[in-house]
Chain A
Amino acid sequence: MRTGRPARVVIAAVATLGLAACAGGGGSSSSSSSSGGTTKAAFNAAVKGVFNPSDKKGGIVKFADEGEPDSTDPGDTYYGYMWDFIRLYTRSLTMFTVAPGDKSNKLVGDLAEGLGQASDGGKTWTYKLRSGLKFEDGTAITSKDVKYGIERSTDKATFPDGPTYYDSLLNWPKGWAGPYKSKGMNTDSAISTPDDLTIVFHLKAPFSGFDYLAMTPQSAPVPQAKDTGAKYKEHVVSSGPYMFDTYQSGKSFTLKRNPNWSAATDPNRKALPDGYEYDMNVNSDDIDNRIAAGDLDIAAVGTGVTPATQSRVLSDPTLKARADNATLARLWYTSINPTVKPFDNINCRIAVEYAMDRTSYQTAYGGPFAGGDLATTLLPPVIPGYKKFDDYPSQGGKGDLAKAKEYLGKCGQPNGFSTNISFRNERPKEKATAEAWQQQLAKVGIKVTPKGYSKKDYFSTYAGNPPYVVKNDLGLVVNGWGADWNDGYGFLSQITDSRVIRDTGGSSNTSVRIPEVDQLLDQAANELNVEKRNAIWGEIDKKVMDQAVIYPGVYAKSLLLRGKALTNVFVNQQFGMYDYVSLGKP
């Protein structure tokens, strides 16, 4: 999911000057807030519990987006906040429990009555749809509509933005290029629908986490007769409690109640508001100001307030009482590339693990509130399977220079060496991180030269392109990863599997090439027992850290600001932001 903000340092600094003059603007934070809620407004009130619980219906919830969604089409979106929001007008086979804290890790049936039934060792997954499901026009939702929704999402020429799990895991027939180009092709080898309420998935290989796939928006049903391809996003035919009312490309859209949604078929959604307004391309500082003033309810992107607003929120008790510091399933880290000398020697990699000051990493990312907590493992704490350990301990996380020099001696570089570190130009935090590496490693004689690259080509052409990495001595790569879902597979598969590394570039995994890890990933994919599977994720984490090919920086956090007049506000741990399905108006 996209989480970085374009650099707006000057605007942020100016906004700080201006906004500091009106600190305390707009908020009252008494325990009996103006919204009439019963929960006392307090910092982190919505992190582990529900702030302002209510069943009151009515009102319009207002969202604003600093940019535009990648798409409102369920087959073509990969932004975490859209996966959160899209549940208002689409339903997938499964969904995460709409509840705060750890409860949201649990998958439940949405369109389906329950989770999938695995057979054939996990190569076949069967789901039974609930009865009585309808689209917004009153036509019945059948398994064929779910099948078609997934089929069309595999046309990556028309829908390039969505994930590719269904493309790669299902047993599609040879030559399958999506329903537009492969009209009439029989795809029962991948998805079969024995009756209107049953859908069966046939995989190429066992995959224990299929219920997570079934959670993705791609499994939202799409009526083939109303599919308009790339234009479908302008009016997605709703299967959820709300439907599109208006849509203005790049400007705004509104949702209104879907008259053909039945609460009886949807135990997961309360559908309290009467509608939603969603404005796009709104200045991010303006979004924060409007939320603080009560003119707006939610910042849709959900990655936290701007740096300018952060200082205001943390210093103003009224605003701080409306803030939540959510932990994300995201790690900011640096890859240590063993393909670049002298990092081919594990002792040189270990030296760097000891040398780096993790607190400077945290500072570069914005401090403990906006940056995150000091990380010593690959898996963030919110991912099942996480175990706390620290292979390279140091006092206060500030690095152990003596140990670093000891390992430099072991790897034959007692006086240090030179290497380059890459970062994305559009991300000032990554640039600051690269500079932090430069400063800290200089203390043990390692000369680090930061090299900035465009974020669009970062993995395809530069830091993720193995020949380029070796040729340009990119021993260190500033990196980051967020789980598609809070499961070890969702987090680890793309950053620890050596088989995703391509010489043509494009992979976020630039440094992990451990055969035992590949085997463990395959083992976990086949393991249907959840506890055993989670234990394997922890084992992979330890192996990667033992090999010192990744330097974990911080477990990401974000500072969110609750709207003044909202009910049922809580952080959905899966998305690392407020749960958009639960919100209501007082």
Chain B
Amino acid sequence: MSGPAVTAAIVVTYILRRLIAAVVLLLVVSMVVFAIFYLFPRWAGATPETLATRYVGRSATAATVKQTAQSLGFYDPVWLQYWHWLKAVFVGQDYNMGAEVEHCPAPCFGFSFQSKSPVWPDIVNRAPVTFSLAAGASILWLFAGVATGVVSALRRGSFFDRAAMSVALGGVSLPIFFTGLIGLAFFSYKIPVFASGGSYTPITHNPLTWAYDLLLPWITLAFLFSAQYARLTRAGMLETMNEDYIRTARAKGLPERAVVVRHGLRGALTPILTIFGLDLGLLLGGAVLTEKTFSLNGLGKYTVDAIENQDLPRILGVTLVAAFFIVMANLVVDLLYAVVDPRVRR
């Protein structure tokens, strides 16, 4: 096999191994979540009826509680409940809606205990909101953060550097529900520059309105993250710009811009890429505080509501989705290392 073919085979094998590991990880995550919500309470003395009381109305009789426990499968052993859930993910499941039976096609993450609606369509409906929020904010924070960090590093000790790092400190310190609510109060209600909370138009309906509705959440979220990236980039740049190869590049007569971008920034990008992967992966699972603050019905809000209501099917569904995105984001980041840092290829 030739060199490129060997490299391709290595990369493919690497990706396959990581994907298999991801599947195993997701299985483990699902088991842990199941255990937390079902096994541990059982060990603590909870009965199927006490578990079912969470999902009945306030006037529920003992018979109602028993019926609910029955219909939610609480009388089955925990391993059997888990098996039913796992099987449904791959082959689907039928659910008794009372007047009719509804088939939940694969991937079926069960029906919400609270709302009795299937979990997967709920997740799919909410995912675009979270993706839109994460995508826009990440582009903003990456450019703003990296650019600020680069300039700060190059103008170390200057007024810009000090001002930028002070603002960065503010961004890192101020919680998003503070900046978000202030932003809404001033720029949506007092001076209507941005859309009000709860506004979301799908990009497929109108891209311009979509962007307008999300501008304030993007800016608020980006303010928080870009602060970290500015500081990280500045630190990385300060380190790499003192390397010997930078001096060599300058000595060779390369334009300063090329020195900074192709050599300096490139060397500083590796940790930024790592953090970006983690941050983006986490956000894709749901920007909880941002969505809650701006009343955006994304995965983050869905998660919080599910936890408040101890709605296990929903919790399981979003947990797995979030874990999946984190795992994928890390995989992509690891693959990008080879692109960014030639040393990794060797």
Residues of A at under 8 Å CB distance from B? 6, 10-11, 14-15, 17-19, 21-22, 25-26, 64, 67-68, 70, 78, 152, 155-164, 167-168, 178, 180, 227-232, 248-251, 279-283, 285-286, 289-290, 292-293, 295, 456-457, 460-461, 494, 502, 504, 506
Contacts and interface: CB of A to CB of B under 8 A. Distances in A.
A170 to B, nearest CB: 14
A494 B126 CA distance: 40
B189 A281 contact: no
Contacts of A251: 125, 297
B295 A281 contact: yes
B40 interface: no
Interface of B: 50, 53-65, 67-68, 70-71, 96-100, 102, 115-117, 121-122, 125-126, 175, 177-178, 181-182, 184-186, 189-190, 196-198, 292-295, 297, 301-302, 305, 308, 310
A477 B186 CA distance: 43
Nearest to A508: B58
Contacts of B102: 231
A18 B185 contact: yes
Contacts, number: 167
Given A230-B98, A248-B125, A290-B196, 14 more contacts: A14-B178, A18-B182, A78-B57, A160-B55, A160-B56, A160-B68, A178-B98, A249-B117, A250-B126, A279-B295, A283-B292, A286-B197, A295-B189, A506-B53
Contacts of B57: 70, 78, 160-163
A293 B61 contact: no
B2 to A, nearest CB: 54
A407 B126 CA distance: 61
Contacts of B297: 250-251, 280-281
Contacts of B96: 158, 229
A304 B50 CA distance: 32
Contacts of A157: 64, 67-68, 70-71, 98
16 contacts: A11-B293, A17-B178, A22-B186, A26-B189, A78-B57, A156-B67, A157-B67, A158-B97, A162-B59, A164-B59, A230-B97, A249-B125, A250-B305, A289-B185, A502-B62, A506-B65
A506 B56 CA distance: 11
A314 to B, nearest CB: 18
A123 to B, nearest CB: 22
Contacts of B71: 157
Q: Chain A's interface: helix, strand, loop or mixed, by majority? A: loop
A281 B96 CA distance: 27
Contacts of A228: 97, 99-100
Contacts of B175: 10, 14
A15 B181 contact: yes
A168 B62 CA distance: 13
A528 B92 CA distance: 55
B217 to A, nearest CB: 12
Given A156-B63, A290-B196, A11 B68 contact: no
B185 A19 contact: yes
A164 B64 contact: yes
A494 B57 CA distance: 14
Contacts of B54: 456-457
A286 B99 CA distance: 39
Contact of A293 (B68, B125, B189): B189
A461 B98 contact: no
B178 A456 contact: no
A352 B117 CA distance: 48
Given A282-B295, A456-B310, A461-B50, A506 B60 contact: yes
Contacts of A456: 53-54, 310
B64 A156 contact: yes
A283 B176 CA distance: 14
Contact of B308 (A6, A289, A461, A504): A6
B99 A180 contact: yes
B52 to A, nearest CB: 9
Question: A-B pairs with the 5 shortest C-beta distances?
Answer: A229-B98, A158-B98, A229-B99, A161-B57, A286-B197
Contacts of A152: 98-99
Contact of A18 (B59, B126, B181, B302): B181
Contacts of A249: 115, 117, 121-122, 125
A230 to B, nearest CB: 4
